[in-house]
Amino acid sequence: MKTGTLTKPSTVNQSGLATSFSIQGSGFYVPEDIVTNEMLTRTFDTTDEWIQEKTGIRERRYLQNDMATSDMCVHASLDAIYDAGIAMEDLDAIVLCTTTPDQQVPSTALIVKEKLGAKNAIPFDLTQAACAGGIYSILFASHLLQNQFINNVLVIGAEVLSRYIDPADRITKTFFGDAAGAILLQKTGEGSGLLAWDLDSSLNMAVTLHGGGTARMPEGADLFTSHFIRMNGREVWKTATRNLPISIQNAVQKAGLQVSDIDHFILHQANLNIIKKTMRALDVPMEKTTVTIQEYGNTGAASLFSALHKSLEEKAIKPGDYLVISAIGAGFLWGSLCVKYTKNQ
Protein backbone atom coordinates (compact mmCIF):
# COMPACT_ATOMS: atom_id res chain seq x y z
CA MET A 1 0.00 0.00 0.00
CA LYS A 2 1.33 3.40 -0.94
CA THR A 3 1.42 6.04 1.73
CA GLY A 4 1.90 9.77 1.41
CA THR A 5 1.11 13.15 2.87
CA LEU A 6 -2.51 14.17 2.79
CA THR A 7 -3.02 17.38 0.85
CA LYS A 8 -5.59 20.06 1.52
CA PRO A 9 -8.31 20.57 -1.10
CA SER A 10 -7.79 23.55 -3.38
CA THR A 11 -9.80 26.67 -2.80
CA VAL A 12 -11.24 29.49 -4.86
CA ASN A 13 -10.82 32.98 -3.42
CA GLN A 14 -14.26 34.53 -3.60
CA SER A 15 -13.64 37.15 -0.93
CA GLY A 16 -13.20 39.98 -3.43
CA LEU A 17 -9.93 40.85 -1.68
CA ALA A 18 -6.49 40.93 -3.28
CA THR A 19 -4.45 41.08 -0.05
CA SER A 20 -4.39 38.16 2.39
CA PHE A 21 -4.08 38.38 6.18
CA SER A 22 -3.22 36.25 9.18
CA ILE A 23 -4.72 36.08 12.65
CA GLN A 24 -1.44 37.00 14.27
CA GLY A 25 -2.51 37.30 17.90
CA SER A 26 -5.50 36.92 20.22
CA GLY A 27 -6.54 37.97 23.69
CA PHE A 28 -9.56 37.59 25.95
CA TYR A 29 -10.73 39.16 29.19
CA VAL A 30 -13.59 38.38 31.57
CA PRO A 31 -14.44 40.15 34.84
CA GLU A 32 -13.71 38.54 38.18
CA ASP A 33 -17.30 38.56 39.49
CA ILE A 34 -19.00 35.22 38.77
CA VAL A 35 -22.79 34.81 38.79
CA THR A 36 -23.72 31.12 39.00
CA ASN A 37 -27.02 29.50 38.17
CA GLU A 38 -27.44 28.68 41.85
CA MET A 39 -27.23 32.39 42.66
CA LEU A 40 -30.04 33.10 40.18
CA THR A 41 -32.28 30.49 41.80
CA ARG A 42 -32.36 32.66 44.92
CA THR A 43 -34.30 35.31 43.00
CA PHE A 44 -36.09 33.45 40.20
CA ASP A 45 -38.35 30.42 40.05
CA THR A 46 -35.80 28.23 38.25
CA THR A 47 -33.13 25.59 38.85
CA ASP A 48 -29.53 25.05 37.79
CA GLU A 49 -30.63 21.90 35.94
CA TRP A 50 -33.32 23.76 33.97
CA ILE A 51 -30.96 26.57 32.93
CA GLN A 52 -28.28 24.13 31.79
CA GLU A 53 -30.82 22.00 29.91
CA LYS A 54 -32.30 25.00 28.06
CA THR A 55 -29.14 27.06 27.47
CA GLY A 56 -26.00 25.12 28.39
CA ILE A 57 -24.95 27.98 30.68
CA ARG A 58 -23.51 27.28 34.15
CA GLU A 59 -22.27 30.77 35.03
CA ARG A 60 -21.60 34.23 33.62
CA ARG A 61 -19.41 37.21 34.59
CA TYR A 62 -20.48 40.75 35.52
CA LEU A 63 -18.16 43.74 35.28
CA GLN A 64 -17.30 45.65 38.45
CA ASN A 65 -19.09 48.99 38.83
CA ASP A 66 -15.88 51.02 38.64
CA MET A 67 -14.98 49.62 35.20
CA ALA A 68 -16.36 50.21 31.69
CA THR A 69 -16.28 48.50 28.30
CA SER A 70 -13.02 50.23 27.31
CA ASP A 71 -11.24 48.81 30.37
CA MET A 72 -12.01 45.25 29.30
CA CYS A 73 -11.00 46.10 25.72
CA VAL A 74 -7.58 47.29 26.87
CA HIS A 75 -6.92 44.05 28.81
CA ALA A 76 -7.86 41.84 25.83
CA SER A 77 -6.02 44.08 23.35
CA LEU A 78 -2.75 44.08 25.27
CA ASP A 79 -2.76 40.27 25.25
CA ALA A 80 -3.49 40.15 21.50
CA ILE A 81 -0.78 42.70 20.68
CA TYR A 82 1.74 40.86 22.86
CA ASP A 83 0.78 37.56 21.25
CA ALA A 84 1.29 39.10 17.80
CA GLY A 85 4.71 40.40 18.77
CA ILE A 86 4.26 43.89 17.32
CA ALA A 87 5.09 47.30 18.77
CA MET A 88 2.22 49.58 19.75
CA GLU A 89 3.25 52.17 17.16
CA ASP A 90 2.88 49.52 14.43
CA LEU A 91 -0.87 49.34 15.04
CA ASP A 92 -2.59 51.04 12.09
CA ALA A 93 -6.29 50.72 12.98
CA ILE A 94 -8.61 49.65 15.80
CA VAL A 95 -12.05 48.26 14.95
CA LEU A 96 -14.28 47.93 18.01
CA CYS A 97 -17.70 46.27 17.86
CA THR A 98 -20.01 46.69 20.85
CA THR A 99 -23.60 47.60 21.66
CA THR A 100 -22.49 48.83 25.08
CA PRO A 101 -20.00 51.68 24.46
CA ASP A 102 -18.65 53.67 27.39
CA GLN A 103 -21.03 56.46 26.31
CA GLN A 104 -22.60 57.81 23.11
CA VAL A 105 -19.67 60.18 22.49
CA PRO A 106 -16.72 60.30 22.42
CA SER A 107 -15.78 57.14 20.53
CA THR A 108 -15.01 54.11 22.69
CA ALA A 109 -12.49 52.93 20.07
CA LEU A 110 -10.75 56.29 20.51
CA ILE A 111 -10.74 55.84 24.29
CA VAL A 112 -9.13 52.41 23.82
CA LYS A 113 -6.56 53.90 21.42
CA GLU A 114 -5.55 56.52 23.99
CA LYS A 115 -5.37 54.00 26.84
CA LEU A 116 -3.16 51.72 24.73
CA GLY A 117 -0.94 54.56 23.52
CA ALA A 118 -1.48 53.40 19.92
CA LYS A 119 -0.74 56.85 18.50
CA ASN A 120 -0.81 55.79 14.83
CA ALA A 121 -4.05 53.78 14.91
CA ILE A 122 -7.27 54.95 13.24
CA PRO A 123 -10.24 54.21 15.59
CA PHE A 124 -13.49 52.78 14.19
CA ASP A 125 -16.67 51.95 16.14
CA LEU A 126 -19.28 49.40 14.96
CA THR A 127 -22.13 49.75 17.42
CA GLN A 128 -25.30 48.07 16.13
CA ALA A 129 -24.34 44.64 14.81
CA ALA A 130 -24.82 43.14 18.31
CA CYS A 131 -23.85 39.45 18.46
CA ALA A 132 -22.96 39.48 14.74
CA GLY A 133 -20.37 42.18 15.48
CA GLY A 134 -17.48 39.74 15.24
CA ILE A 135 -18.39 38.86 11.64
CA TYR A 136 -18.89 42.48 10.59
CA SER A 137 -15.72 43.74 12.31
CA ILE A 138 -13.44 41.07 10.82
CA LEU A 139 -14.90 41.64 7.36
CA PHE A 140 -14.45 45.41 7.74
CA ALA A 141 -10.88 44.99 9.01
CA SER A 142 -10.00 42.70 6.10
CA HIS A 143 -11.03 45.50 3.73
CA LEU A 144 -8.89 48.02 5.61
CA LEU A 145 -5.90 45.73 5.08
CA GLN A 146 -6.27 46.18 1.32
CA ASN A 147 -4.80 49.67 1.76
CA GLN A 148 -1.04 49.82 1.15
CA PHE A 149 -0.49 51.90 4.29
CA ILE A 150 -2.39 49.59 6.67
CA ASN A 151 -0.61 46.43 7.83
CA ASN A 152 -1.89 45.70 11.35
CA VAL A 153 -5.53 45.98 12.47
CA LEU A 154 -6.74 45.28 16.00
CA VAL A 155 -10.30 43.88 16.04
CA ILE A 156 -12.17 43.92 19.36
CA GLY A 157 -15.56 42.59 20.42
CA ALA A 158 -16.78 43.64 23.86
CA GLU A 159 -19.99 43.94 25.86
CA VAL A 160 -21.11 44.96 29.36
CA LEU A 161 -24.58 43.50 28.93
CA SER A 162 -25.12 43.20 32.68
CA ARG A 163 -25.76 46.96 32.75
CA TYR A 164 -28.75 46.50 30.40
CA ILE A 165 -30.47 43.56 32.07
CA ASP A 166 -33.84 43.98 33.77
CA PRO A 167 -33.22 42.52 37.25
CA ALA A 168 -36.76 41.10 37.16
CA ASP A 169 -36.39 39.41 33.73
CA ARG A 170 -35.40 35.76 34.10
CA ILE A 171 -34.63 35.31 30.38
CA THR A 172 -32.01 38.02 29.94
CA LYS A 173 -30.65 37.54 33.46
CA THR A 174 -29.99 33.90 32.60
CA PHE A 175 -28.41 34.41 29.19
CA PHE A 176 -26.14 37.45 29.19
CA GLY A 177 -22.69 38.17 30.58
CA ASP A 178 -19.75 40.55 30.13
CA ALA A 179 -16.44 40.01 28.32
CA ALA A 180 -14.02 41.37 25.75
CA GLY A 181 -11.98 39.61 23.09
CA ALA A 182 -9.44 40.85 20.56
CA ILE A 183 -7.49 39.58 17.56
CA LEU A 184 -4.64 41.19 15.64
CA LEU A 185 -4.98 40.86 11.86
CA GLN A 186 -1.81 41.31 9.82
CA LYS A 187 -1.01 41.24 6.10
CA THR A 188 0.51 37.95 5.03
CA GLY A 189 1.42 35.87 2.00
CA GLU A 190 -1.04 34.92 -0.70
CA GLY A 191 -3.49 32.07 -0.11
CA SER A 192 -4.43 32.69 3.52
CA GLY A 193 -6.97 34.79 5.37
CA LEU A 194 -10.50 35.36 4.11
CA LEU A 195 -11.49 32.99 1.30
CA ALA A 196 -15.22 33.75 1.13
CA TRP A 197 -18.02 35.35 3.11
CA ASP A 198 -21.80 35.29 3.31
CA LEU A 199 -24.01 37.96 4.91
CA ASP A 200 -27.78 38.28 5.16
CA SER A 201 -30.37 40.10 7.25
CA SER A 202 -34.06 40.42 8.03
CA LEU A 203 -35.61 43.14 10.18
CA ASN A 204 -37.12 41.61 13.32
CA MET A 205 -37.82 43.15 16.75
CA ALA A 206 -37.30 39.90 18.66
CA VAL A 207 -34.27 41.40 20.45
CA THR A 208 -34.37 45.10 21.24
CA LEU A 209 -32.68 47.78 23.29
CA HIS A 210 -34.79 50.90 22.75
CA GLY A 211 -33.07 53.36 25.06
CA GLY A 212 -30.42 55.78 23.86
CA GLY A 213 -31.74 56.25 20.34
CA THR A 214 -34.12 58.65 18.58
CA ALA A 215 -37.02 56.24 18.01
CA ARG A 216 -40.51 57.60 18.55
CA MET A 217 -41.55 56.87 22.11
CA PRO A 218 -45.25 56.37 22.98
CA GLU A 219 -46.83 58.82 25.40
CA GLY A 220 -46.10 57.83 28.99
CA ALA A 221 -43.31 55.38 28.05
CA ASP A 222 -40.95 54.47 30.89
CA LEU A 223 -37.54 55.81 29.88
CA PHE A 224 -35.82 53.71 32.53
CA THR A 225 -37.16 50.34 31.41
CA SER A 226 -36.50 51.24 27.75
CA HIS A 227 -32.80 50.80 28.54
CA PHE A 228 -33.28 47.08 29.21
CA ILE A 229 -32.67 44.34 26.65
CA ARG A 230 -35.86 42.52 25.64
CA MET A 231 -35.61 39.14 23.94
CA ASN A 232 -38.05 36.69 22.40
CA GLY A 233 -36.04 33.50 22.84
CA ARG A 234 -38.28 31.35 20.66
CA GLU A 235 -37.90 33.73 17.70
CA VAL A 236 -34.12 33.84 18.17
CA TRP A 237 -34.00 30.03 18.18
CA LYS A 238 -36.09 29.74 15.03
CA THR A 239 -34.13 32.35 13.07
CA ALA A 240 -30.69 31.13 14.19
CA THR A 241 -31.22 27.43 13.56
CA ARG A 242 -32.75 28.12 10.15
CA ASN A 243 -30.17 30.59 8.84
CA LEU A 244 -26.80 29.74 10.35
CA PRO A 245 -26.40 26.36 8.57
CA ILE A 246 -27.42 27.94 5.24
CA SER A 247 -24.98 30.82 5.70
CA ILE A 248 -22.12 28.47 6.58
CA GLN A 249 -22.81 26.27 3.56
CA ASN A 250 -22.92 29.33 1.29
CA ALA A 251 -19.55 30.63 2.51
CA VAL A 252 -17.90 27.22 2.24
CA GLN A 253 -19.22 26.60 -1.26
CA LYS A 254 -18.06 30.03 -2.44
CA ALA A 255 -14.55 29.05 -1.31
CA GLY A 256 -14.70 25.92 -3.45
CA LEU A 257 -14.80 23.64 -0.43
CA GLN A 258 -17.15 21.11 1.14
CA VAL A 259 -18.34 21.36 4.74
CA SER A 260 -16.34 18.19 5.42
CA ASP A 261 -13.16 20.07 4.41
CA ILE A 262 -13.52 22.55 7.27
CA ASP A 263 -11.21 21.77 10.18
CA HIS A 264 -12.92 23.88 12.83
CA PHE A 265 -16.08 25.90 13.37
CA ILE A 266 -16.32 29.02 15.56
CA LEU A 267 -19.99 29.78 16.28
CA HIS A 268 -21.71 32.54 18.23
CA GLN A 269 -22.12 31.42 21.84
CA ALA A 270 -25.80 32.27 22.28
CA ASN A 271 -27.19 28.94 23.40
CA LEU A 272 -25.53 25.52 23.51
CA ASN A 273 -28.60 23.92 21.94
CA ILE A 274 -28.42 26.29 18.95
CA ILE A 275 -24.77 25.33 18.46
CA LYS A 276 -25.62 21.61 18.66
CA LYS A 277 -28.54 21.92 16.23
CA THR A 278 -26.41 23.90 13.75
CA MET A 279 -23.65 21.31 13.85
CA ARG A 280 -26.17 18.48 13.38
CA ALA A 281 -27.69 20.29 10.38
CA LEU A 282 -24.20 20.43 8.84
CA ASP A 283 -23.55 16.77 9.77
CA VAL A 284 -20.41 17.79 11.66
CA PRO A 285 -19.37 16.35 15.05
CA MET A 286 -19.21 18.67 18.07
CA GLU A 287 -15.48 17.87 18.33
CA LYS A 288 -14.98 20.30 15.45
CA THR A 289 -16.22 23.31 17.40
CA THR A 290 -15.22 25.11 20.59
CA VAL A 291 -17.76 26.03 23.27
CA THR A 292 -17.37 28.75 25.90
CA ILE A 293 -20.99 29.50 26.75
CA GLN A 294 -20.92 27.28 29.86
CA GLU A 295 -18.46 29.60 31.62
CA TYR A 296 -19.41 32.99 30.22
CA GLY A 297 -22.99 32.94 28.91
CA ASN A 298 -23.87 35.01 25.84
CA THR A 299 -21.33 37.84 25.72
CA GLY A 300 -22.70 39.42 22.54
CA ALA A 301 -20.00 40.81 20.25
CA ALA A 302 -17.30 39.23 22.46
CA SER A 303 -18.72 35.74 22.04
CA LEU A 304 -16.98 34.74 18.79
CA PHE A 305 -13.67 36.01 20.13
CA SER A 306 -14.04 33.93 23.29
CA ALA A 307 -14.38 30.73 21.25
CA LEU A 308 -11.65 31.74 18.80
CA HIS A 309 -9.21 32.58 21.58
CA LYS A 310 -9.87 29.30 23.38
CA SER A 311 -9.43 27.36 20.11
CA LEU A 312 -6.06 28.99 19.47
CA GLU A 313 -4.91 28.54 23.07
CA GLU A 314 -5.81 24.84 23.03
CA LYS A 315 -4.34 24.43 19.51
CA ALA A 316 -7.65 23.14 18.19
CA ILE A 317 -6.83 25.37 15.19
CA LYS A 318 -3.46 24.84 13.52
CA PRO A 319 -1.67 26.74 10.73
CA GLY A 320 -3.08 25.69 7.35
CA ASP A 321 -6.50 24.78 8.77
CA TYR A 322 -9.73 25.86 7.13
CA LEU A 323 -11.91 27.71 9.60
CA VAL A 324 -15.53 28.86 9.53
CA ILE A 325 -16.67 31.73 11.77
CA SER A 326 -20.43 32.28 11.97
CA ALA A 327 -22.83 34.37 14.07
CA ILE A 328 -26.28 35.90 14.26
CA GLY A 329 -27.20 39.10 16.08
CA ALA A 330 -30.19 41.23 16.95
CA GLY A 331 -31.79 42.83 13.99
CA PHE A 332 -31.54 40.11 12.68
CA LEU A 333 -28.07 40.22 11.10
CA TRP A 334 -26.17 37.03 10.37
CA GLY A 335 -23.21 35.82 8.39
CA SER A 336 -20.27 33.48 7.98
CA LEU A 337 -16.60 33.78 7.06
CA CYS A 338 -14.50 31.00 5.54
CA VAL A 339 -10.86 31.54 6.51
CA LYS A 340 -7.55 29.77 6.00
CA TYR A 341 -5.65 30.17 9.25
CA THR A 342 -1.99 31.10 9.17
CA LYS A 343 0.37 32.92 11.48
CA ASN A 344 3.39 34.91 10.29
CA GLN A 345 6.77 33.87 11.67
Which of the residues 97, 152, 298, 309 is marked catalytic? 298
| Res 222: pLDDT | 61
Marked catalytic residue, from 152, 243, 268, 309:
268
Share of the chain above pLDDT 70, in %: 95
The arithmetic mean of pLDDT across residues 55-84, rounded, is: 98
Q: Stretch 190-197: mean pLDDT, rounded?
A: 90
> Are the C-beta atoms of residues 25 and 85 closer than 8 Å to each other?
yes
Separation of alpha carbons 38 and 40, rounded Å: 5
Active site residue 338: no
pLDDT at 212: 75
- The residue among 117, 120, 136 whose CA lies nearest residue 128 is 136
Note the pLDDT tens digit of each residue in 204-222.
Answer: 999 998 877 777 666 655 6
State yes or no: pLDDT of 72 exceeds 70: yes
Contact 172, 148 (CB under 8 A): no
- Distance CA(187)–CA(24), nearest Å, equals 9
User: What distance in Å separates the CA atoms of residue 183 and residue 341, rounded to the nearest whole number?
Assistant: 13
Cα–chain center distance at 114? 23
Q: Is the CA virtual torsion 226, 228, 232, 236 positive or negative? A: positive
Distances (CA, A) of 11 to 109, 244, 255, 263: 35, 22, 6, 14
- For residue 286, give Cα distances in angstroms to 38, 245, 318: 27, 14, 18
The pLDDT assigned to 135 comes to 98
The question of whether 298 is a catalytic residue gets the answer yes
Q: Is the pLDDT of residue 5 over 90?
A: no
Residue 312 pLDDT exceeds 80: yes
* Terminal-to-terminal C-alpha distance of the chain: 36
pLDDT at 327 over 70: yes
Beta-bridged to residue 25, according to DSSP, are 184
Tell whether the model's pLDDT for residue 95 goes beyond 60: yes
* 1, pLDDT greater than 60: no
| CA gap 127, 99 in Å, rounded | 5
- The alpha carbons of the chain give a radius of gyration, in whole angstroms, of 20
Average pLDDT across the chain, whole number: 93
pLDDT tens digits for range 118-166: 999 999 999 999 999 999 999 999 999 999 999 999 999 999 999 999 9
**Among the options 73, 131, 309, 338, which is catalytic?**
131
Reported as a single tens digit per residue, the pLDDT across 244-271 is 999 999 999 999 999 999 999 999 999 9
- pLDDT for residue 6 is more than 60: no
**Per-residue model confidence (pLDDT) at position 191:** 75
pLDDT digits (tens, 9 = 90+) for 164-173: 999 999 999 9
151 flagged as catalytic: no
pLDDT reported for residue 4: 41
* 300: alpha, beta or left? (left if phi > 0; alpha if psi -120 to 50): left
